[in-house]
Amino acid sequence: MIGAALILGVGFGIIGLLLTWWLLGLEEADEAPPEVSMSVEATPVGEPPRWASLVWGLETAPNPETEQALSWARDRVARCAAWLAARWTALWGVRRQAERRLRRLLREADLPWHPAEWIGLTLGLMALGAWVGHRIYRLPGFVLLGILGGGALPFLFLRHRREARRRRLEAQLADALRLIAHTLQSGGSLYTAFEQIARGFPPPIAEEFRRALLEIQLGFSISEALEHMRTRVPSEDLSLAITAIQINQQVGGNLPEFLEMVAARIRDRVHIQNEIRVLTASYRLSAQILTALPVLLWLVLFPLNRRYMMRFFTSGLAGYALLGLILVLVLLGFLVIRRTMRVSL
């Protein structure tokens, strides 16, 4: 049915065009002078026929105003296209940089996620936070807070996972450096020491040296593989050990003795950090509870007793000032407690 209707429509259209052309031809024949010129120059090659101009309402002679308007329009379109191309190039560069940064953070946290998957999770949590703010609290400000909180949660988890993995690796680094030093003293090579670490140590340090071995097998040098490890693990102690190995490969020196010194320094530093963490565990927990409790209590009481909690927003400047003062004092107390527990080694 559809094909038949399409054929009929095309046929009627062609018939209508032929009738129009025939009528226009009759009108031109009535208005034409008795003498008809057969010169080829009467109809330019690039000029459309007169019946087509009449059908579409166009003039055969060029209009200066129309040409000027078309030229201005073409110029504006070209400028807009160039501006959009430049903005698109800049946005594409920013997107590539953000993707590389996120990929590096995921690699440092040892999360087998693609950046697109992580961004999808973040957008989903932002939408969930907006829905909670709209359905439960029913205020635009809480919708914004829900979006910000949902977008911050994945990256806070990523930061925690990254720091925890770095601390575990630094705790294993001293033993790994001692193993490298003993292997070199016994006549072995760095590649043999890396293999022993990859086989005998638990993750995460075994995974890093396993990646370094794989890169060496693919054609990278030991120095390049260690440099890639430095970019994957943001650790000052590991960076110091890698620098010592790279300098030894270039100028020589007693590498086992230096690695023993670095291992002893790392072991003492990790031991002191663990003692500090044990002694300040109760204070850190108190700081976290005292910071989170007022905020959580306020968020729980708001849907339970909305009329009472809305006085913060219906009391004018005094309510907003009191709310801001509460937030400032809570944040200030958290920063003071955290600052008193910080010890630089």
Q: Express each pLDDT in 67-76 by its tens digit.
A: 777 777 778 8
Measured CA distances, 54 to 321, 325, 336 (Å): 74, 77, 84
CA-to-CA distance for 230 and 224, rounded, in angstroms?
A: 10
- The answer to whether the CB of 276 falls within 8 A of the CB of 343 is yes
344: phi then psi, degrees, rounded to nearest 5: -90, 130
User: What is the spatial distance between Cα 137 and Cα 335, in angstroms, rounded to a whole number?
Assistant: 29
For residue range 134-174, list pLDDT tens digits in order. 888 888 888 898 999 899 999 999 999 988 888 888 888 88
Local confidence band at 20 (pLDDT 50, 70, 90 cut-offs): low
Position 331, amino acid: L
Of 110, 132, 160, the closest CA to residue 288 belongs to 160
Is 233 strand, coil or helix? coil
288: which 2 tokens? 């976290």
CATH superfamily of 165-267: Type II secretion system (T2SS), domain F (1.20.81.30)
Q: Is the pLDDT of residue 257 over 60?
A: yes
Q: Residues 181, 259: contact at Cβ < 8 Å?
A: yes
For the ranges 22-31, 95-104, 107-116, 124-133, the lowest mean pLDDT is seen at 22-31
pLDDT of residue 233: 84
Rounded CA separation 195/187 (Å) = 15
The Cα 260–Cα 175 span in angstroms is: 10
CATH 1.20.81.30 residue spans of the chain: 165-267
Q: Please give the average per-residue pLDDT across 205-222, as a whole number.
A: 89
Q: In this predicted model, what pLDDT tens digit does every residue of 87-105 receive, in sequence order?
A: 777 777 777 888 888 888 8
Q: Which helix (H) or strand (E) holds 109?
A: none
